[in-house]
């Protein structure tokens, strides 16, 4: 189902699961704030989970630990995030979810085109729903937009309704029969009902036309990103252990949204800020994905004593390098040369 953004898809998923006050949802701390914010939109509580310090992914142990920490709340769901495009270990997360009666919703906003355990990400074989973002920085763009997938017909019906103001147009469930039907028992042509208010989260035809044409280019974009990632891996090898690519997981293939490296800034005796400034001076953009959610003032105020050492270890070392299909091989050379020079390793 097409929606107006990945964030709208997250909000709709929380609504469709009936999450609300008194419920809690486990969210990994290393993600874009939208994953956690969607839980707050429905006034449920966010329980932030730690992540693997090298991949940034929430694993089964981190999910279980977060669940155990939230012992006074009714934890009903978890929103694992396929960070950078790499899939979480869905089979292992599904085991923990089953044991604790949790619904899984995959934030796959980074992972369009990836796969896990031989399944395309988004087929929801191990979750209730998954969503993708089609924001311009993501794998394909539709201006602003998103996609939400599910295998559950009942959820699909609820999601379609919530996307369109909550309007009910299925005459089988009209509740006001006198208003709804004419004397011959035909539904009146103007008629619709509202049972629960929804939102305007539709994607416009214009955005969908762009998204549709972009979808046809996904395989080509993905091939190019994979080639660029392999090239980066090869050219960066001499910089180990100071600079290391984020390790690849064994249970699936990345959708290759980002190409982050982990840098030992202490050993290099360079701060991340000064390295980023030096790269900028060479005409090279870089970014940090992400400031852990538990470090954001809003979420820190909710749980001031929370420390998540894996998330912090990932955050303090990560740096996303330029990574887009139109990059030439020579651009990768130039990025690695600048990195090498500015880290004083040449």
Question: Could you give the residue numbers annotated as active site?
Answer: 138
Shortest Å distance, C-beta 5 to ligand PLP: 3
7 scored as a contact of ligand PLP (CB under 6 A): yes
Convert 157-208 into a string of H (helix), E (strand) and C (coil). Answer: HHHHHHHECCEECCHHHCCCHHHHECCCCCECCCCCEECCCCCECCCCHHHH
Task: Say if CB 77 and CB 92 are below 8 A apart.
Answer: no
Between residues 5 and 253, which has the closer beta carbon with respect to ligand PLP?
5
Binding mask 216-255 for ligand PLP (x = CB under 6 A): ----------------------------------------
163 scored as a contact of ligand PLP (CB under 6 A): no
Q: Which one among 1, 5, 17, 252 touches ligand PLP, defined by CB under 6 A?
A: 5
6 scored as a contact of ligand PLP (CB under 6 A): yes
Query: Cis omega before residue 103 (within 30°)?
Result: no
Task: Say if CB 246 and CB 86 are below 8 A apart.
Answer: yes
Between residues 7 and 64, which has the closer beta carbon with respect to ligand PLP?
7
Biggest CA-to-CA distance, the chain: 86
Q: Which one among 11, 76, 135, 207 touches ligand PLP, defined by CB under 6 A?
A: 135
Contacts of 51 (CB under 8 A, 6+ apart): 28, 29, 30, 57, 58, 59, 62, 83, 308, 310, 311, 314
122 scored as a contact of ligand PLP (CB under 6 A): no
Between residues 86 and 133, which has the closer beta carbon with respect to ligand PLP?
133
84 scored as a contact of ligand PLP (CB under 6 A): no
- Judged by CB under 6 A, the number of residues near ligand PLP is 14
Cβ-closest residue to ligand PLP? Answer: 6
Task: Say if CB 83 and CB 103 are below 8 A apart.
Answer: no
Give, in order, the Cα–Cα distances in Å from 56 to each of 81, 281, 318: 9, 29, 9
Task: Say if CB 145 and CB 3 are below 8 A apart.
Answer: yes
81 scored as a contact of ligand PLP (CB under 6 A): yes
Q: Which one among 32, 67, 221, 323 touches ligand PLP, defined by CB under 6 A?
A: 32
Between residues 52 and 242, which has the closer beta carbon with respect to ligand PLP?
52
* Residues in contact with ligand PLP by the rule CB under 6 A: 5-7, 31-32, 34-35, 81, 107, 109-110, 133, 135, 146
């Amino acid at each position: 189902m097409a929606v107006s953004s990945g964030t709208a898809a997250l909000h709709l998923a929380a609504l469709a699961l009936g999450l609300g006050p008194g419920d809690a949802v486990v969210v990994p701390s290393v993600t874009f704030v939208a994953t956690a914010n969607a839980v707050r939109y429905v006034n449920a509580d966010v329980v932030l989970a730690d992540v693997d310090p090298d991949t940034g992914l929430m694993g089964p142990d981190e999910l279980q630990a977060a669940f155990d920490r939230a012992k006074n709340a009714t934890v009903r769901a978890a929103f694992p995030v396929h960070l950078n495009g790499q899939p979480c270990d869905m089979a292992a997360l599904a085991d923990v979810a089953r044991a604790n009666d949790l619904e899984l919703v995959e934030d796959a906003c980074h992972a369009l085109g990836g796969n896990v355990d031989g399944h395309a990400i988004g087929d929801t074989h191990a979750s209730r729903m998954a969503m993708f973002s089609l924001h311009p920085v993501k794998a394909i763009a539709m201006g602003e937009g998103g996609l939400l997938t599910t295998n559950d017909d009942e959820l699909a019906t609820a999601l379609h309704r919530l996307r369109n103001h909550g309007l009910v147009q299925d005459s089988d469930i009209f509740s006001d029969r006198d208003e709804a039907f004419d004397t011959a028992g035909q539904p009146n042509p103007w008629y619709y009902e509202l049972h629960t208010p929804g939102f305007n989260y539709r994607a416009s035809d214009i955005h969908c036309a762009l998204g549709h044409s972009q979808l046809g280019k996904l395989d080509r974009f993905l091939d190019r990103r994979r080639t660029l990632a392999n090239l980066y891996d090869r050219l960066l090898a001499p910089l180990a252990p100071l600079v290391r690519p984020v390790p690849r997981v064994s249970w699936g293939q990345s959708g290759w949204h980002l190409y982050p490296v982990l840098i030992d800034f202490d050993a290099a005796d360079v701060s991340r800020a000064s390295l980023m400034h030096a790269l900028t001076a060479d005409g090279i953009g870089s970014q940090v994905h992400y400031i852990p959610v538990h470090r954001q003032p809003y979420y820190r105020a909710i749980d001031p004593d929370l420390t998540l050492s894996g998330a912090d270890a990932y955050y303090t070392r990560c740096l996303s390098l330029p990574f887009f299909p139109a990059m030439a091989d020579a651009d990768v050379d130039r990025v690695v040369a600048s990195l090498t020079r500015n880290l004083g390793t040449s």
